[in-house]
């Protein structure tokens, strides 16, 4: 029953919390390793050292190899480096590193302090921190004992030009400094295989959401109406007696949410929580910091959220996703470069058909087996991979089943007018379909997924926003009982 209640609570929180992510690890090793930068091995003439599991290399060759202008103040023993997007400095023998980007200076602490090997006359720095200070992806390939460093710009630097049509979906001419009233409705049907003690989870839910949003601040109310009749009808008399009273409490629920978009402080109040914690009353509000929670998982959620009201930079967005990779190896750069080229050939601007009438444009794209094969073949020409690799890639892409998608994007004078997506997926493990339509102020969608013997899920939704003079109230009511939100409630 506890797992069943957690499943229900997770469904109720699906609009506000997505607890996922991975943490990039930098593993230690007992032997001195190697360094690979953008797929090429760097030669330090054997001058690579392992200090407490941290790979140390000569500072000037590594910085210059990564495109930085380097200077060294012998009086203060300070190393300074300037790159195309930031500058940083550190002092030999000290762990603190100062990084300046976009006019903002931050200080971080390195695991190992840079040092001078007097016998060699060489200054060594921890390669991981140097790479990360430059904004690069850094990982450790334990099998080859190699530090992997990737400059995302060399892969995604032209993303805004390559995907300018799809980028219209992320671009809005709404004044996000203003406040907007948000409303919407949703329907959900979920059926899973046996849960606790052979008890399946089978329910439907209808709901609505309303509230005020301004930039990243939000004051929202979400209402749910759960229906467990189908689930209860399949239970034995004993199981029904154990669960019916609790499940009935979920029939009509609501959740109040207040989010401070600047700090990440989030407050939630709902009778759902009393199902998991009987001591929670009507005056109980749960507190959590969503930014801190995601930062612990290596995800800068605030930066992603800021994309909703700022100019979207696809190259930076893709680079952020690269940094979420759990680990990399000596093939990661080559694989990422080939994957980007394939996606550009499959869904980039050159793959769309365009029809124009005055300032209005309609862009259409169909993604199916033929399009996938054509994009893969084109990738062979642009990336110089062999036919054997091509055949393996196509087999890997298509062996699992079929996928189709139809995309229509319309704009007028460069501004998004509407979009329409629909498609299907059919594999041994998953069958489903999806449809999404909308414009800058409305959205409507439906998704149906059948994960064979595991779960079936149908979701439909529609949302609307309109300008309002009201401001989101992110302050708590007086005399509330404020408690820390236990993340385990949805794990």
Question: In DSSP terms, which residues pair with 190 in a beta bridge?
Answer: 203, 457
3-class SS of residue 354: strand
| Residue range 219-245: mean pLDDT, rounded | 83
pLDDT at 307: 63
- Residues 6 or more apart in contact with residue 291 via CB below 8 angstroms: 263, 264, 301, 302
| Residue range 191-207: mean pLDDT, rounded | 74
Residue 177 DSSP symbol? T
pLDDT at 486 over 50: yes
Residue 196 DSSP symbol? G
pTM over 0.85: no
pLDDT at 86: 85
pLDDT at 310: 65
* Residue 416 contacts residue 409 (beta carbons within 8 Å): yes
Alpha helices, DSSP H, located in 212-264: 229-233, 237-248
* Residue 314 contacts residue 167 (beta carbons within 8 Å): yes
Alpha-carbon span 183 to 209, nearest angstrom: 5
Task: Give the architecture (CATH level 2) of 34-141.
Answer: 2-Layer Sandwich (3.30)
> Residue ranges of the domains in the chain?
2-21+172-293+470-490, 34-141, 159-166+327-461
Alpha-carbon span 172 to 163, nearest angstrom: 16
| Residue range 103-116: mean pLDDT, rounded | 89
Residue that wins the pLDDT comparison between 251 and 94: 94
pLDDT at 194: 63
Nearest to 17 by CA among 489, 387, 476, 420: 489
* Residue 110 contacts residue 126 (beta carbons within 8 Å): yes
- Residues 6 or more apart in contact with residue 323 via CB below 8 angstroms: 24, 137, 152, 298
Alpha helices, DSSP H, located in 249-386: 272-276, 290-295, 301-306, 314-322, 332-347, 369-383
Q: Tens digit of pLDDT for each residue in 29-83? A: 335 678 999 999 988 877 888 888 888 999 888 988 888 899 999 899 999 999 8
Alpha helices, DSSP H, located in 53-108: 59-65
- CB burial of 57-84 (b: ≥16 within 10 Å; e: otherwise) equals bbbbbbbebbebeeeeeeeeeebbbbbe
Nearest to 319 by CA among 76, 169, 134: 134
pLDDT at 29: 35
* Residue 315 contacts residue 156 (beta carbons within 8 Å): yes
Rg (CA), the chain: 26
Task: Write down the mean pLDDT value for the chain.
Answer: 83
């Amino acid at each position: 029953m506890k797992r069943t209640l957690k499943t229900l609570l997770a469904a109720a929180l699906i609009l506000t919390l997505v607890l996922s992510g991975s943490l990039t690890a930098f593993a230690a090793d007992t032997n001195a390793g190697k360094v690979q930068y953008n797929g090429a091995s760097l030669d330090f003439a054997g001058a690579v050292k392992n200090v407490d599991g941290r790979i140390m290399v000569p500072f000037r060759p590594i910085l210059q190899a990564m495109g930085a202008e380097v200077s060294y103040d012998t009086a203060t023993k300070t190393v300074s480096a300037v790159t195309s997007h930031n500058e940083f400095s550190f002092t030999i023998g000290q762990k603190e590193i100062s990084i300046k980007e976009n006019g903002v200076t931050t200080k971080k602490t390195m695991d190992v302090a840079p040092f001078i090997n007097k016998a060699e006359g060489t200054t060594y720095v921890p390669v991981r921190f140097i790479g990360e200070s430059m904004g690069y992806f850094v990982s450790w390939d334990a099998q080859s004992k190699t530090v992997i460093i990737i400059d995302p710009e060399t892969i995604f630097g032209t993303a805004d030009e390559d995907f300018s049509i799809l980028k219209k979906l992320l671009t809005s001419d709404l004044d996000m400094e203003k406040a907007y009233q948000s409303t919407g409705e949703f329907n959900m049907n979920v059926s899973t295989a046996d849960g606790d003690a052979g008890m399946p989870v089978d329910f439907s839910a209808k709901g609505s959401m309303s509230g005020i949003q301004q930039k990243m601040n939000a004051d929202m109310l979400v209402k749910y109406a759960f229906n467990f009749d189908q689930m209860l009808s399949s239970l034995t008399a004993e199981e029904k007696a154990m669960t019916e009273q609790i499940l009935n409490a979920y029939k009509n629920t609501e959740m109040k949410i207040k989010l401070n978009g600047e700090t990440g402080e989030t407050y939630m109040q709902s009778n759902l929580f009393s199902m998991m914690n009987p001591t929670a009353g009507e005056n109980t509000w749960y507190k959590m910091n969503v930014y801190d929670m995601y930062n612990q998982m290596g995800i800068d959620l605030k930066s992603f959220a800021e994309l909703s009201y700022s100019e979207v930079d696809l190259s930076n967005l893709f680079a952020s996703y690269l940094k979420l990779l759990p680990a990399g190896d000596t093939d990661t750069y080559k694989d990422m470069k080939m994957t980007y080229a394939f996606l550009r050939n499959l869904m980039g601007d050159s793959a769309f058909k365009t029809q124009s009438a005055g300032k209005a444009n309609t862009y259409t794209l169909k993604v199916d087996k033929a399009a996938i094969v054509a994009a893969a073949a084109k990738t062979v020409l642009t990336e110089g991979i062999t036919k054997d690799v091509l055949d393996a890639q196509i087999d890997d892409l298509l062996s699992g089943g079929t996928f189709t998608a139809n995309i229509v994007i319309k704009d007028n004078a460069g501004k998004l007018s509407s979009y329409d997506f629909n498609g299907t997926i059919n594999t041994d493990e998953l069958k489903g379909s999806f449809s999404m339509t909308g414009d800058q102020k409305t959205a409507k969608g439906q998704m149906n997924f059948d994960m064979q013997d595991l779960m079936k899920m149908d979701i439909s939704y529609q949302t609307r926003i309109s300008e309002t003079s009201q401001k989101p109230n992110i302050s708590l009511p007086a005399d509330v009982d404020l408690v820390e939100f236990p993340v385990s409630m949805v794990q």
